[in-house]
């Protein structure tokens, strides 16, 4: 028997795919990018720390999903207009992109003296971008919107902070992208497990035959700090608040030198994955909050991992 499992996510041999040297304006990091395919081209909206420690969002484009060129100007910087300006003064972070009805909804973390909340911006062409709404109070992060409505409502996964329970993944609904409610907990970290400290949604969910694939991050606290890994879960196709299965094992952990060492060591953090017609996906992740990396996986392999060796979603 082999001493290790075949990797589910195969790393691109040219990793890291994007670093601060590729950015034509001054930034210190390039990480945690949302990703989507738009008119045959791959788009990444990536986060960068500036030298003052606050973050902005840039745009990179690619023909093949691996070799990216960065636009000359940032894509999303803190808004000057209210009500957004007050809540974005410390920066905008960790964007996710959801293709919906011919537009792209971008959810991002908005940081300010009042905490962290989630904003939505939208674009149809990645040239113009406009703010839509601030959809949570403090403290929420990691919102992904399902790329389909359910009984006429938008559905999101998110991760509120709480001092009482470990930070879990929740689901909420909205008729209009402004008002959200009917919230329920969906997945909780599992005690003494690779994701025991906290979990949060990662990539925008991907529709598969067996359910919505949710690639999420899970964190384990060690004597040397936290380790961020990626895991996978399946949500019911008709009712995404219903979790069909959570894979017991992670699908990716920090291993390459630029994932193990950097601005924050031992981090792989996913904000986007792009499904392809041949049954594979390209998964994108930030390495050590410093660079962007990519890999490929067969969707069926991740789904099988969820179904063949699950752990309870709420334990
Ligand atoms: C999380 C977020 C992410 C970051 C990760 C590791 O709490 O801030 O943006 O990648 O920590 O530092």
How do residues 248-288 score in pLDDT, each as one tens digit?
999 999 999 999 999 999 999 999 999 999 999 999 999 99
Q: Is 5 helix (H, G, I), strand (E, B) or coil?
A: coil
In short, whether 230's Cβ falls inside 6 Å of ligand 1 is: no
Structure tokens at 85: 């300006």
- Kindly give the parts of the chain with pLDDT less than 70: 1-4
In short, whether 94's Cβ falls inside 6 Å of ligand 1 is: yes
CA of residue 300 to ligand 1 center, whole Å: 28
For residue 190, the model assigns a pLDDT of 96
In short, whether 289's Cβ falls inside 6 Å of ligand 1 is: yes
User: Which phi and psi (to 5°) does residue 230 adopt?
Assistant: -115, 140
Strand 225-235 relative to strand 130-134, pairing: unpaired
CA of residue 271 to ligand 1 center, whole Å: 11
The whole-angstrom separation of Cα 118 and Cα 96 is: 11
In short, whether 264's Cβ falls inside 6 Å of ligand 1 is: yes
Topology given in CATH for the domain delimited by 17-311: Tachylectin-2; Chain A (2.115.10)
For residue 165, the model assigns a pLDDT of 87
Q: Where are the domains of the chain?
A: 17-311
Mention every residue, 6+ apart, whose C-beta is less than 8 A from residue 163: none
CA of residue 1 to ligand 1 center, whole Å: 37
For residue 4, the model assigns a pLDDT of 67
Q: Is 26 helix (H, G, I), strand (E, B) or coil?
A: coil
Contact in structure between 101 and 208 (CB atoms under 8 Å): no
For residue 163, the model assigns a pLDDT of 87
Per-residue CA distances from 266 to 63, 164, 194, 260, 269 (Å): 30, 26, 13, 4, 10
In short, whether 267's Cβ falls inside 6 Å of ligand 1 is: yes
Mention every residue, 6+ apart, whose C-beta is less than 8 A from residue 249: 5, 194, 231, 305, 309
Report the half-sphere exposure of 301 (CA within 13 A, side-chain side).
15
For residue 6, the model assigns a pLDDT of 86
For residue 162, the model assigns a pLDDT of 86
CA of residue 223 to ligand 1 center, whole Å: 18
């Amino acid at each position: 028997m082999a001493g290790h499992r075949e990797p589910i996510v195969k790393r691109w041999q040219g990793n890291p795919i994007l670093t601060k040297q590729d950015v034509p304006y001054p930034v210190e990091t390039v990480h945690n990018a949302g990703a989507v395919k738009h008119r045959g081209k791959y788009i990444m909206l990536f986060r960068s720390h500036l030298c003052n420690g606050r973050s902005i969002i840039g745009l990179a484009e690619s023909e093949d999903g691996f070799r990216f060129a960065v636009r000359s100007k940032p894509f999303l910087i803190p808004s000057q207009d209210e009500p957004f300006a007050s809540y974005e003064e410390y920066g905008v972070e960790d964007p996710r992109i959801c293709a919906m009805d011919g537009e792209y909804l971008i959810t991002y973390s908005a940081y300010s003296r009042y905490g962290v909340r989630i904003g939505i911006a939208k674009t149809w062409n990645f040239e113009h971008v406009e703010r839509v709404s601030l959809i949570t109070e403090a403290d929420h992060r990691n919102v992904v919107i399902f790329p389909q409505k359910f009984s006429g409502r938008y559905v999101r996964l998110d991760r509120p902070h709480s001092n009482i329970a470990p930070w879990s993944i929740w689901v909420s609904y909205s008729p209009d992208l402004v008002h959200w409610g009917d919230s329920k907990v969906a997945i909780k970290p599992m005690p003494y497990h690779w994701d025991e400290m906290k979990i949060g949604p990662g990539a925008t969910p991907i529709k598969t035959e067996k359910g919505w694939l949710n690639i999420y991050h899970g964190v384990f606290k060690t004597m040397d700090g936290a380790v961020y890994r990626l895991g996978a879960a399946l949500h019911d196709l008709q009712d995404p608040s219903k979790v069909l299965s959570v894979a017991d094992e992670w699908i990716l952990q920090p291993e390459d030198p630029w994932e193990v060492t950097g601005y924050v060591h031992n981090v792989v953090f996913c904000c986007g994955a792009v499904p392809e017609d041949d049954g594979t996906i390209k998964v994108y992740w930030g390495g050590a909050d410093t660079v962007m990396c990519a890999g490929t996986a067969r969707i069926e392999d991740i789904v099988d991992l969820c179904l063949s060796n699950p752990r309870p979603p709420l334990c």
